[in-house]
Amino acid sequence: MTSNQPQQSFEKPRLGFWEIWNLSFGFLGIQFGWGLQMGNMSAIYEYLGAKPDELPILWLAAPMTGLIVQPIVGYLSDRTWGRFGRRRPYFLIGAVLASICLVIMPYSSTLWMAAGLLWILDASINISMEPFRAFIADMLPKEQITRGYTMQSFFIGLGAILASLLPWLLINVAGMEATAEGGTIPSFLKISFGLGALAFLLAVLWTVTKVKEYPPQDMEAFKRMKKEQRGVGAAAKDILASIVAMPKVMKQLALVQFFTWMGLFLMWFYFTVAVANDIYGANGDTQSPLYAKGLAWANICFGFYSLVTFLFSFVLPEIADRMGKKYAHALSLLAGAMGLISVGFIKDPNLLLLSMVGVGIAWTSTLAMPYAILAPKLRQDKIGVYMGIFNFFIVIPEILATLFFGLIMLYVLDNDRILAVMTGGGSLIIAAIFALLVDDSDD
């Protein structure tokens, strides 16, 4: 794609479809990790004996690792250059560690073993994922950035489809047993996580081997900067200074992200177990065949909204070009809100696919529009650290949800999983309102 020789003055060339494809292909594997985790961790916890009000705190690993890891990885990748490039070493290290965790996860024998593995898994996925966000801004000219992030949405959708289908295929096509002895995790989940680990590693290797990164434009200035900013103290000082000096649009997007991800996390926490217990009628009996069938169908629903994400990613750039990024994002979030709220009125599991249409539209936009709005406003030498800081507005709502939503479930919602999903829809409505207030001009 480009030479690895330093360049003092450099205009990024427009890239072709297949070059942008290669840039983003690793996200297919990353989404295998996220998709299997989001679709099945609550069920794994329930197989190991967790109660509904205990689920949020058991998910605490994801936001805490993201809060710590992403800005640090972003800071380090901004200051990395060597034989393997700037961002690619982080892609690969994270993929290897995450794949190992995925293989081990469904063999957990206790709740705290599973929760501990989730901490390591999330840290590893974050090491791979955060540099991928900066990678698009590194490699594409301004006019192609929306296309780049939408291509990531395409692969996220495709990866989630495949990850979501695995449990259903193993039960209904391969004929694997849907149940297991009390306190153990069924074999179909063990096989699903093993295949996901392989997909994660191979997809990331594709991007690592197919793409050559652009070197720093002024190599001598880059070396001086690295020499002057060494150590933990310098890193902390730079990250804090970047937080204080964050662009205005980033502050505006913070509120959008906060309520968007609060709604999404409530869906991921409770949708699969709500379908198994409340719509399929397992009523808390994890050993019932109805529970396994409900879990498999909920994964199909996640796969379906990922299919919508896959398809909508082809048209979202055109919609954003015509009506503006913030309006496209606000409408997409409203579609997602209606999808989650409608779950409370559905008794036929097949109709849940209609709800997932709205969720898929919102998910496509969430993966692309905030980054497409933000990236052109960032300094080139700060892209990594700012993408890591931007992740704060994803993980902070999840931390709050994990710490406090269990109390809301217990004392306000009476452990009603369906009401928790509908509450997520209300949060997406608030996010859509804040999206309309964002300044997405291209100044």
Give the tens place of pLDDT for each residue, 106-116. 898 888 888 88
CB 320 within 8 A of CB 372: yes
Select from 161, 78, 143 the least CA-distant residue to 442: 143
The per-residue pLDDT for range 207-235, each reduced to its tens digit, is 988 888 877 776 666 666 666 556 566 66
- Position 374 pLDDT exceeds 60: yes
Residue 11 to residue 2: CA distance in whole angstroms: 12
pLDDT in the model for residue 226: 62
- Cα–Cα distances (Å) from 278 to 55, 294, 312, 408, in that order, read 16, 9, 30, 19
d(CA 40, CA 168) in angstroms, rounded, equals: 12
* Residue-level pLDDT at 213: 82
CATH pick for 17-435 out of 1.10.1060.10, 1.10.10.60, 3.40.630.30, 1.20.1250.20: 1.20.1250.20
Q: Is the pLDDT of residue 373 over 50?
A: yes
What's the mean per-residue pLDDT of the chain? 84
Is the per-residue pLDDT at 104 higher than 90?
A: yes
pTM of this prediction?
0.72
CA pair distance 135, 219, nearest whole angstrom:
19
Specify the DSSP class assigned to residue 279.
I
Measured CA to CA, the distance from residue 55 to residue 408 in angstroms comes to: 12
**pLDDT digits 0-9 by tens, 18-36:** 888 998 898 888 888 888 8
Distance from C-alpha of 39 to C-alpha of 299, rounded to nearest angstrom: 6
User: Could you give the CA distance from residue 127 to residue 123 in angstroms, rounded to a whole number?
Assistant: 6
Residue 37 has pLDDT above 80, yes or no: yes
Of the two residues 282 and 201, the one the predictor is more confident about is: 201
Per the CB < 8 A criterion, the answer to whether 306 and 35 are in contact is yes
- pLDDT (0 to 100) of residue 294: 87
pLDDT tens-digit map of 300-327: 888 888 889 888 988 998 898 899 999 9
Instruction: Give the range with max mean pLDDT: 121-125, 142-146, 300-304, 335-339.
Output: 335-339
Identify the pLDDT of residue 242: 78
